Each structure stands twice: as structure tokens, then as C-alpha cells.
Chains A and B, each alone.
Chain A
Amino acid sequence: MIKINNLHKKFGKLIVLNGLDLQIDSGGIFAILGPNGSGKTTLIKSVLGMVIPNSGDIKIDDRSVLKQWNYRNGINYLPQIANFPSNLTVNELIAMVKNLRPKEAHDKDLIELFGLESFLDKKLGNLSGGTKQKVNIVLTFMFDSDLIILDEPTTGLDPISLIHLKEIIQKEKEKGKTILITTHIMSFVEEVADEIVFLLDGDIHFKGSVADIKSQTDQNDLEHAIANLMSKENV
């Protein structure tokens, strides 16, 4: 369970998170939505300890994570932009990340699933964006962790890989994992998410299921519902 209390974060004069409170229960898929620059990535990075909040508290399983680092062993994180050191090969990168975690990794099946075998000895700098994202996904899902955070997981993926990704996410959910996803692709949200957290101007403006958001905004499809929510807040 993640519990976020009164989280504030400013970058210079820009207020990104403004007293955000959020509770995410264990198990299930949570989609974090919001317009560009609404603080989704900042929120996620705060949970990961990459961004240090100005004030507020983040608790995972009732233990504060600020200034800690051990807890990251229980989180799989898929960063938004797959930037890897370009002079390493895929194999080396995977071996290195495995080395960093005192956990068992099952990378073989994932590599096979995404058809990455032929890329294993290639340098990361020479891979296409989509292939990098696949490597990124392999790195994220090869460990068995209770909390999985995906920042824009669908960028650059071809349809087949997207199907595989959805399968993996469903599988992890069945194992009782907590999965946080940010994305701008609403059909993806509609398909996989159990609950939606809508972020605007650094605060939560809506939290509930897909059906809830539709009925609240009187819209039939999610895309319009979200657009409605965004424009309503702006008026």
C-alpha cells in the first residue's frame, strides 16, 4: 500500500505538486492520468526517491521512504524515455542490472517473448526506439516485485508487442501486484486499468473506476470523459 501525504514539490517557481494526498491499496492496476505537465512523472519519481519533495511524506507499507533506498528493491520501474548508455550491449546491460539486485531474474522468457534474441549482442546506441522500449520492458519485468511503476509503457511499441505487454500486465495483476501506469492512450487505460487517478495542477481531481468517471461526466467513452474533466477544471 502506498500512502502519500500532503506532498509538495516546486521546481524553481513552478509548483508541480501542490499538497497531493493519495492512497493506493495493494493489488490492482491504477492509471495515473492528467494533461502534460500535471505532475505525473514527478509524482512517480518522488515515490522512487529520484525527486526529493519539498514537504510531505510517502509511505510504502507504513514505512516512510524518504531518504531511504532499500525499498527500491521492491519496485520495478519503467522510465518514460528509454535512455541507456549507448556503448553497452543489451546483454551487458541486462547482466549489470541483474547484478545490482539481490533477486532472482527471469529474463529469458521475456527476451523470447519480445523477440530480442538477435539484438542481444548489439549496442544499445544502435537500436531503434521501439526495440529500446522492449529492452526497457524486459528490464522492468524480469524481477518479481510487489510494486510495478510504468511511465508511458506503450511509447514506440508495435501492436504485437503491445499485446504482449498487456498480457504481462494482466499476469502480474493476477499475482496480486500493484501496478501504476501513466499513459495518454485512453483505449489502453480502458482495457487494463481498475482505477483511475486524475491529476491536475499538482493535485488529485478524481479517483475512481472507469465507470465512475464516465457517469460523473456524462460521457460514453473515456477519452471524452477525460477531456471533459480537463476542460471543466480549466473553466
Chain B
Amino acid sequence: MRSRWSYVYFAFYLALGFVLLFLNNDINKAIITLMNIIIVLTPLIGTIFGVMYYYNSKEFTELLLAQPIKRSKIFMGQYLGISISLTLSLALGLGIPFLLYGLFKSTAIFDFALLLVVGSFLNFIFVALSFNIALSNENKIKGFGYAILMWLFLAVIYDGLFLISLLVFNEYPLDKFSLSATMFNPIDLSRILILLKLDISALLGYTGAVFKKFFGTNFGMIISFAVMILWVLLPVWRINGKLRKKDF
């Protein structure tokens, strides 16, 4: 893939990393700030890139479809291409400034690694979701609209609904509900995952406490990662199912 945008994206993360380190002057604080940005931004970028790439390369895809290649191979190639290049931009763009700053000497290296892993997961998840949307919508504008809506829903609206429901039902025991509700949103899930690791879950109040108590850090990690992997696999599986019936 020859995309100028992945370089721009890389440069953006590079700059972001430097600026945050400079302003915070402390790796741990920078990581927390970064988390907030990554958790909202990587899904957005993944979504937009995914949809944009699909519609832009339509002609190219049609050219490939007439060649002796398996359908699923073409699309999985494109999917992996975007996801990996976005992930590389993320990892390198943030990795370089943090390395220069002396990441290896600090204790925050695991937190930072987790941040990158979660960011990569979010990339893979949202590119897959956006591919799903693009495949189901012939109309470019509609596809874009739905994709952005999906992002907005998962990144912002979902949290709102979640909070409202907690307020409304606050007389009932809500720990199970809040746990499962978190699982259904990859953005929330990654947020919790990082916060747990950073040991600042107290900041989260109720949900954080429940999470911490219910899972205990290690078990919670495993479950969360399993759910993250599911979040990648399910959309990818649906892409392949969709492809089997799609006309070009």
C-alpha cells in the first residue's frame, strides 16, 4: 500500500509523543494523557481509513477479482494491509519519542507496551468494522456516514447511555450489568484495561472498583484480551461471509 496518509499519521503520532513528553515531563503522566487520546483517536482513524480505502480502491479490487486469486484473499490482504500499516504508524510514531526519552530505564515500559497493544487492537477492530460497513453499502456517502456514526456511538454515545442507565437503575446491584456492558464496547474495554494496569482504577469510582474486585487484575486481563480478540474475529468472519455473496 502506497499511502501518503499513513506517513502523515505517523508524523502526527511522532509529534504527539514528543509534545506530550515535553509538556508532562514525566513518562507516567504522558502515558495517561496518551491513553485518552489513543482510545478515541485510533478507532476514528481506523474507521475512516478503512472506509476510505475500500471505496477508493474499488476499481483496483475489481481488477484483482478478474485475476486468479481467491476473493477472501484479496480482501484479507487489504484488511491486513491497512491494519498493519496503521499499527506501524502508531507503534513507531509513539515508540520513537518514548525511546528517546528513556523508556527502558523507567518502570512504565509495561504500561506503554500495553497501551500500544490496545491501540493496535483498536486499529484491527475498527478497520474490520468499517470494512463491514463499506461492504454492505454501495453508496459511498452512506457508508461514510454509517462508519462515522458507529464511531461516534461507540466512543461517545455509548458511554452516555451507560452512565444514564447507571443513574436510573442505581438502586439495583449493577456490577454484572456494568461489566457486561463494558465488554460490548471495545473502546470502553480498552480504557478499563489500561486503567486497571495503571492502577488508577480508583479514579473510575464504581465501575473500576467492581472491575478490580470482580476480576482481579490478571484474570481480568485475560478475559478482556479474549473479548478484544473476539472483537477482531467476529467482524473479520462476517467480512468473509459477506464476500461469498457479494456481486461486483
Instruction: Show the binding face of A for B, using Cβ within 8 Å.
Output: 11, 45, 48-52, 67, 69-73, 75, 77, 79, 83-85, 87, 97, 100-101
Instruction: For the complex formed, measure the closest distance between the CB of B62 and the CB atoms of chain A, giving whole angstroms.
Output: 7
In chain B, positions 209-248 with a C-beta closer than 8 Å to chain A are: 244-248
User: How far is A77 from B67 in the complex, measured between Cα atoms in Å?
Assistant: 9
Tell me which residues across on chain A come within 8 A of B65, comparing CB atoms: 48-50
What is the chain A residue whose CB lies nearest that of B60? A85
In the complex, which of the residues B58, B62, B70, B245 contacts A69, with contact meaning CB atoms closer than 8 Å?
Answer: B70
In the complex, which of the residues B63, B68, B244, B248 contacts A71, with contact meaning CB atoms closer than 8 Å?
Answer: B68
What is the chain B residue whose CB lies nearest that of A48? B66
User: How far is A215 from B2 in the complex, measured between Cα atoms in Å?
Assistant: 57
Jot down 21 A-B pairs with beta carbons below 8 A, ordered by A.
A45-B248, A48-B66, A49-B71, A50-B62, A50-B65, A50-B66, A50-B247, A51-B247, A52-B246, A69-B68, A71-B68, A72-B66, A75-B66, A79-B62, A79-B66, A83-B59, A83-B62, A85-B60, A100-B68, A100-B69, A101-B68
In the complex, which of the residues A50, A52, A85, A100 contacts B245, with contact meaning CB atoms closer than 8 Å?
Answer: A52
Q: Is the CB of B63 within 8 A of A84?
A: yes
Q: Known contacts A45-B247, A50-B248, A87-B2: does B60 contact A73 (CB below 8 Å)?
A: no
Q: Is the CB of B66 within 8 A of A101?
A: no
Tell me which residues across on chain A come within 8 A of B62, comparing CB atoms: 50, 79, 83
The verdict on B57 contacting chain A, using a C-beta distance below 8 Å, is yes
Instruction: For the complex formed, measure the closest distance between the CB of B70 and the CB atoms of chain A, giving whole angstroms.
Output: 5
Tell me which residues across on chain A come within 8 A of B15, comparing CB atoms: none
Tell me which residues across on chain A come within 8 A of B204, comparing CB atoms: none
Q: Known contacts A11-B247, A50-B247, A50-B248: does B60 contact A77 (CB below 8 Å)?
A: no
Known: A73-B68, A100-B68, A100-B69. 11 other contacts (CB 8 A): A48-B65, A48-B66, A50-B62, A50-B65, A50-B66, A67-B244, A70-B68, A83-B58, A84-B60, A85-B63, A97-B63
In chain B, positions 96-134 with a C-beta closer than 8 Å to chain A are: none
Q: Is the CB of B60 within 8 A of A72?
A: no
What is the chain A residue whose CB lies nearest that of B245? A52
Q: Known contacts A79-B62, A83-B59, A83-B62: does B67 contact A97 (CB below 8 Å)?
A: yes
**Closest CB pairs A-B (n = 7):** A83-B59, A73-B68, A72-B68, A85-B60, A77-B66, A51-B247, A50-B248
User: How far is A45 from B66 in the complex, measured between Cα atoms in Å?
Assistant: 9
User: How far is A156 from B60 in the complex, measured between Cα atoms in Å?
Assistant: 20
In the complex, which of the residues B57, B63, B71, B244 contacts A79, with contact meaning CB atoms closer than 8 Å?
Answer: B63
Tell me which residues across on chain A come within 8 A of B64, comparing CB atoms: 100
In the complex, which of the residues B59, B60, B248 contacts A51, with contact meaning CB atoms closer than 8 Å?
Answer: B248
User: How far is A45 from B67 in the complex, measured between Cα atoms in Å?
Assistant: 12
User: How far is A106 from B181 in the complex, measured between Cα atoms in Å?
Assistant: 59
User: How far is A136 from B245 in the complex, measured between Cα atoms in Å?
Assistant: 27
Tell me which residues across on chain A come within 8 A of B67, comparing CB atoms: 72, 97, 100-101
Tell me which residues across on chain B come within 8 A of A83, comparing CB atoms: 58-59, 62-63
What is the chain A residue whose CB lies nearest that of B56? A85
Instruction: For the complex formed, measure the closest distance between the CB of A155 and the CB atoms of chain B, giving whole angstroms.
Output: 16
In chain B, positions 2-28 with a C-beta closer than 8 Å to chain A are: 2
User: How far is A48 from B65 in the complex, measured between Cα atoms in Å?
Assistant: 8
Q: Is the CB of B248 within 8 A of A84?
A: no
Tell me which residues across on chain A come within 8 A of B58, comparing CB atoms: 83
User: How far is A84 from B247 in the complex, measured between Cα atoms in Å?
Assistant: 19
Tell me which residues across on chain B come within 8 A of A67, comparing CB atoms: 244
What is the chain A residue whose CB lies nearest that of B4? A87
What is the chain A residue whose CB lies nearest that of B58? A83
Tell me which residues across on chain B come within 8 A of A52, comparing CB atoms: 244-247
In chain B, positions 63-107 with a C-beta closer than 8 Å to chain A are: 63-71
Tell me which residues across on chain A come within 8 A of B245, comparing CB atoms: 52
